[in-house]
Chains A and B, each alone.
Chain A
Amino acid sequence: MNNPATIIEPHRNQTGGTISALRALVLANGYIRDVDQKTVAELFNISQAEVRGIVSFYADLRTDPPANKIIQVCQAEACQASGCRSLTATLENRLNIAMGESTPDNEFALENVYCLGHCANGPAAMIAGAIYTNLSSADVDALMTGKPDTAPTEIVETNNRLIFNRCGRVDPLDFDAYRAEGGFPAAPISAESVLSEIRNSGLRGRGGAGFPAHVKWQTVADQLDNQKYIVCNADEGDSGTFADRLIMEGDPFLLIEGMAIAARAVGASKGFIYLRSEYPKAARILTEALQIAQREGALNESFDIALFIGAGAYICGEETSLLESLEGKRGIVRAKPPLPAIEGLFGKPTLVHNVITLCSVPWIINNGGEAYRRFGVGHSTGTMPFQLSGNVQRGGLIELPFGMPLGEFLDTYGRGTRSGRPIKAVQIGGPLGAYLSREHLDTPLTYEAMAAIGAGIGHGGIVVFDDTVDLIEQAKYAFAFCEHESCGKCTPCRIGSVRGRELMEDIQKNGCTKEKLILVKDLCEVMEKTSLCQMGGMTPIPVVSAIRHFPDDFGLEQ
């Protein structure tokens, strides 16, 4: 076993270096030993207790010697919709272990993972950083002997691809080609002009909240501080979403340029990309793209970007949890106020944005905010890369202006279910999104229209389920996912998620009654209104929508 100090040393002066060092130790030795933890504490000058806290928070930072082959099977909604449950059951039978266990000879282990970003080609699994897609029970033997087979995710060639127009058409790492198409102009426009264009564009955050971008930019720009940061949230953890992954793999300079423009507008000198560890290919491509950008002078002393890889925690997609993690600590959600725009990374004014939001910026600056506003409807301006997956014939990424009705979208691009059975439910907006029934198919894909029916666009993920779906199971999964990913800080989420899951299990086993539903409703109200963040706050949305839109599944009389 190697000396931990040599593995840790390169990370000592990195932002978030504790987590990066611990990940490096897992990569080198397979797991983290006591001596590794003590060495991390010593070299970073933090306590052993703090190291233990960090290690125990992140799923990637394992402390037991791993099996030779760990098969990580995605258990999230899109893969559920395409059949991961039966795949998992077959694997469990074949290996004679339950999910989460290792075989006695430590040859194989089964672990669950939540979203590898290959939702359009699910069920998906990962073994040692290699992704396997379109799996079925028939592939179990091949999985065990490991024949890589990653099907590419289709990017549909729609018109008006303001973000994805270069993907598939160019070599992602060809900087000259990027510059030739207008990227990184020699004389960029002033910071005030940038702010003005962003305001005119009506751009809203594409991560899920849909908050007006220019408000955040102006707040950061107005802060009087010598040190400001820009952070790109690339922890695309929502099941059914892969737009961030595709753009980072397909056109990384677009993201880098978007960040550079935003940094100049708000006065940030340093940027970070927080990338989930479940996207190894994106990590490789981004690393190289950043090096090229530095070499070409697009990144320099006035603005540079560092890549940070997460360690397996969905909650780190929440902006304050992300900042805690980027600071090298447990990903605990912070209370707001203060807003990150005022006191963010290391207490400094920080602009936090999703990948797609930042990737929308270069087009806006090159073509003007007014032009951007002409796409879309009402306050839903511009385009959105919708991501279609689940039980569909043809999943993939479809960049469209806002406004198309959901049903038309499914017919045009999904072309019916993969199973041939009728569509029963559509979950839109990720694991914290509502389950819509056939009644809602005429709803336009805009922020406003979705809000009106108690749903949301979120990050643009749309997952299709056929009529074999059981909404009690899905409601239970909503609670179970929250239980798994809760940071644990606030009581409504930490304990509420468990109670919700238990309630759903009881309903499954012993049937649904009015009293049980009242308790579920009360629990949902508590979680929605009192949770510290949207992890607990939005978990009731899929639950309530399942009960409201699919009462038959719950055995309720109408």
Chain B
Amino acid sequence: MQLGDRDLGTRQVNNTTIVTLEINGETVRAPAGTSIMRAAAEAGIPIPKLCATDSLEAFGSCRMCLVQLDGKPGLVSSCTQPVQQDLRVVTQNDEIARLRRGVMELYISDHPLDCLTCAANGDCELQDVAGQVGLRDVRYADGSNHDNDRIDTSNPYFTYDPSKCIVCSRCVRACEEVQGTFALTIDGRGFASRVATGAEDFFASECVSCGACVQACPTATLMEKSVIDHGVPDRSIVTTCAYCGVGCSFKAEMKGDQVVRMMPWKDGKANHGHSCVKGRFAWGYANHQDRITEPMIRNGITDQWQIVSWDEAIQFAANRLTGIQKEHGQFSIGGITSSRCTNEEVWVVQKMIRAAFNNNNVDTCARVCHSPTGYGLKQTFGTSAGTQHFDSVTEADVIMIIGANPTDAHPVFASQIKRRVRDGAKLIVIDPRQIDLVRSAHIEASYHLPLLPGTNVPMMNAFAHVLINEGLLDENFVRERCDLESFNAWQEFATQEENSPAAVAKITGVPEEDIRLAAKLFAAAGNGAIYYGLGVTEHSQGSTMVMAMANLAMATGNIGRMGVGVNPLRGQNNVQGSCDMGSFPHELPGYRSVTDDAARGEFDRHWGVSLHNEPGLRIPNMLDDACAGTFKGLYIQGEDIAQSDPNTLHVEAALTNMECVIVQDLFLNETAKFAHVFLPGTSFLEKDGTFINAERRINRVRPVMKTQTGMAEWEVTQALANAMGYAMSYSTSAEIMDEIAQLTPSFTNVSFDFLDEHGSVQWPCNASAPEGTPIMHVDGFVRGKGLFILTDYQPTSETANRKFPLLLTTGRILSQYNVGAQTRRTENVRWLEEDTLEIHPADAEVRGIKNHDWVSIRSRIGEITLRADISERVAIGVVYTTFHHPMTGTNVVTTELSDWATDCPEYKVTAVEISPANHRSAWQEKFISRRDQQIDLLPVE
């Protein structure tokens, strides 16, 4: 049933001093600093309230919660009054009751009396409190009111109706304290006070549509349009968002099997009751008309798709795959697991590939994003994952963000960063662009180092140089916790002249003094925390950079407690899980090498097979071999390599050359245009399993509706494995997790029951850590001693030159998610209808480019056309775009270069030239004709 969570009025206070007081004659105990309101609520004595809510600081404006203290005259608001030893509180007597009715009478004298037809009927705190205080009569007749105030419907997801506003300011405070955007204010003063944005309406304003204000609003003033349309929900199920690596917990609030709204769950350990526009509102794609729910097959990719039964589709696929293997060999087929499907679904796919395909040709989308994290942190610390939880940021003193844009890509976590910075932590941003975190309302980075794309490693080397020369090494930590031989080698390397700030300034384009001061700020911090993203990993030296940051963290002793750490901001909702589930050609689940006989033996025994003992193909290898004609069949679960992988023309050529491309997805995506089998997938609202977020936190995904396709995705994969001769017989997802727990040392104690009881858990969760592991490497590194690794700078071969003098880097924005498969099928398109190219005014001017002009972007690989957006957020010489719309074809221009250790593509550095254009590029023309052709090939209704 779930639905409404208890609201205790004011924030929880953690204090070891406990105070004893008396409320209405009852003895109550509470931590010192707790408000009387909260202490009473926790003791089962609710006090009427309107402006108080426990996600926000107490405000004291509604005057409903007044109580009497120690028999003295004069009442005080219990939300703003802390408990005191031996205080005697009375929360209810005749005078208080009369006054509460009097205040409520004033509220209602300025409120429309249409409760019965109001969208909040049944879910309105004003209604509740009017009932609680026993209001019977409003004697103020026909006075001034706000009934005729205009309703603002500009935001696609919620409305603002000022006529119902009680000026509790909860929305303003939520936007300030929780989200940190400060998009709301009160306009005017006195009776004229109304909530307002800084623009003419919500859509035009600074509002980022996170929904915190709607959630905080106690009346129908700010209300989801879905609730206005469908009414108040009647039950809820706790599940996990399917967008980014923050992994927010939500209550899916339902009527029947229809989702009415997604409400952030207060007990979610990653998000603590907050959300962003995507998870909160952009879930309608699950019911979009583009959704395909029936299996389809076709002989060739220019043939018409045929709708068939599941059995027929599975058999068709199995026959083709086994046929290919007979003709081209054991290694001619493989698969890609999804970073967005559940762990259970991913596990079954990699198991099918190893046990039924009989090879190790399995890879995942982490290849193209955080594979260097896996490699780099494993080498230095021994674990392929981040070291902290999100709450750790609350104790950071200096926060260093490198190659990440949290306000756009991990918005809920960005709000936590901003709150910490407003509380006094310092911020360093290392990024070619002036991201929002550099300077936005009430936040300013102490240093923004706008380095040239591709120069991350020398920047870290300069930091090392500075910290050693300034005597800021944490020698105790290094001596106790790290491998001294590697440290000595590293120290000698770091102090070389080529790593000095002066030398590095020339390479990076950042002033020497800024480098020095930023390095000192970080190194001298009590708690220094590093957060990084794809701007670190998607480079030819991605792994090197990860190791450089790990070196820095060890040298400054910033590991193993709150407020520090090396924190990868993992992009996808389950990319961490997908990696943990062994979706790698060289590693079995739990990051053990396929060549490790003991590990492989365990799987052999359990699965009743003899697994191949050599590493298989990575995605780039699969594509290369496909072009060469030796790789012919591919099972792709929930990923769109034709849009998201680099060098699109190469990907298209590879796919075209294959004989059996199987796509398991929700929509006909770019890759499906090259497919022979389409296996319809399920949205997160239909899945029953788990996701793992950037904190290593395993969260439950619970189904709120039955599958639209008739089969769970793992059931489909299981059927294919069976059809190819390997017997699998899971009957529930829980069983799959039980097997995962048996075979993965970090997951031993995990099960659905465990998760239902604990809410969520961060792995490792096993005998040595039965309740999970919030912070890693507390006493020692997983590998024993932390290893320093030398990080020589090898510049990428992709440098700006006369022909391609600018450097293109790519990224994401708040309202769209990655390839946009989900978000483009929601109202979020209103915020970004097309990808644009950000270019500095100086670069635009010499090329004769004006704002909004069409421009052509050309690299040595390919060419596309888009509109220009002239901005000083990029430095001179750097241009930037997003990749949310398939027709943009951003990856037509990105290159084949990649990280030396993991093949993670170097999306972030492409040498390009920009010039005015008046037509689409050749690829884009071809895209349009192919798109139209493939739409024609869909089954006729």
Chain A residues proximal to chain B, CB less than 8 Å: 37, 41, 45-53, 56-57, 313, 315, 330-331, 335-337, 483-492, 494-499, 502-503, 519, 522-523, 525-526, 529-532
Contacts and interface: CB of A to CB of B under 8 A. Distances in A.
B109 A499 contact: yes
Contacts of A45: 439-444
Contacts of B442: 45-46
Interface in B147-204: 166-167, 169, 181-193, 196-199
How big is the B interface, by class? 35 or more
A542 to B, nearest CB: 18
Given A484-B190, A502-B144, A522-B102, A494 B183 contact: no
Interface stretch (B60-68, B362-370, B470-478, B495-503): B60-68
B139 interface: yes
Given A37-B198, A49-B197, A52-B187, 6 more contacts: A51-B198, A488-B189, A488-B192, A489-B59, A491-B106, A491-B167
B106 A496 contact: yes
Given A41-B198, A52-B198, A530 B189 contact: no
Nearest to A59: B189
Interface in B571-597: none
Contact of B61 (A331, A484, A489, A523): A489
Given A45-B439, A48-B198, A335 B102 contact: no
B71 to A, nearest CB: 16
Contacts of A497: 190-191
Contact of A486 (B99, B110, B187, B189): B189
A47 B63 contact: no
Contacts of A519: 139-140
Q: Is the interface of B mostly helix, strand, loop or mixed?
A: loop
Residue from A330, A492, A519, A526 with most neighbouring chain B CB atoms (10 Å) = A526
A485 B166 contact: no
B198 A49 contact: yes
Given A491-B107, A498-B144, A56 B189 contact: yes
Contacts of A525: 98-99, 102
A54 to B, nearest CB: 8
A495 B190 CA distance: 8
Given A45-B442, A52-B198, A532 B143 contact: no
B189 A57 contact: yes
Residue from B60, B81, B190, B206 with most neighbouring chain A CB atoms (10 Å) = B190
A488 B188 CA distance: 8
B916 interface: no
Contact of B62 (A337, A491, A498): A491
Nearest to B58: A335
Interface string B35-74: 0000000000000000000000011111100100000001
B144 A488 contact: no
Contacts of B77: 335, 532
Contacts of A503: 140
Residue from A41, A491, A492, A496 with most neighbouring chain B CB atoms (10 Å) = A491
B175 to A, nearest CB: 8
B193 A488 contact: yes
A337 B191 contact: no
A369 to B, nearest CB: 30
22 contacts: A46-B441, A50-B441, A52-B197, A56-B196, A330-B185, A335-B77, A483-B190, A490-B62, A491-B62, A491-B63, A492-B63, A492-B106, A495-B191, A499-B106, A499-B143, A502-B144, A519-B140, A525-B98, A530-B102, A531-B63, A532-B61, A532-B63
Contact of A337 (B81, B198, B444): B81
A47 B144 CA distance: 31
Contacts of B85: none
Contacts of A526: 99, 102-103, 106
The 7 closest A-B CB pairs, nearest first, are A48-B198, A53-B185, A335-B60, A526-B102, A488-B193, A49-B198, A47-B182
B778 to A, nearest CB: 34
B154 to A, nearest CB: 15
Contacts of B166: 491
B75 interface: yes
A335 B80 contact: yes
Interface in B247-291: none
Contacts of A330: 185-186, 189
Contacts of A484: 190
B560 interface: no
B811 interface: no
B82 interface: yes
A46 B182 CA distance: 8
Contacts of A498: 143-144, 191
A56 B187 contact: yes
B205 interface: yes
A315 B193 CA distance: 15
Contacts of B186: 53, 330, 488
Contacts of A48: 197-199, 205-206
Contacts of B59: 335, 489
Contacts of A494: 167, 190-191, 193
Contacts of A337: 80-82
Contact of B189 (A47, A51, A487, A522): A487
Given A486-B189, A487-B189, A49 B183 contact: yes
Contacts of B190: 483-488, 494, 497
Contacts of B191: 483, 486, 488, 494-495, 497-498
Contacts of A499: 106, 109, 140, 143
Nearest to B199: A48
Residue from B63, B95, B109, B181 with most neighbouring chain A CB atoms (10 Å) = B63
Residue from B139, B167, B189 with most neighbouring chain A CB atoms (10 Å) = B189
Contact of A47 (B99, B103, B183, B188): B183
A531 B62 CA distance: 9
B349 to A, nearest CB: 46
A426 B443 CA distance: 53
Contacts of B81: 337
A329 to B, nearest CB: 10
Given A48-B198, A56-B188, A497-B191, A529 B106 contact: no
Contacts of A496: 106
Contacts of A495: 106-107, 109-110, 191
A502 B141 CA distance: 9
Contact of B99 (A335, A488, A529, A532): A529
A223 to B, nearest CB: 17
B737 to A, nearest CB: 45
Residue from A335, A486, A489, A519 with most neighbouring chain B CB atoms (10 Å) = A489
A487 B60 CA distance: 14
A331 B186 CA distance: 12
A49 B186 CA distance: 9
A360 B193 CA distance: 39
Interface string B734-753: 00000000000000000000
Interface string B105-149: 011011000000000000000000000000000011001100000
Interface string B461-491: 0000000000000000000000000000000
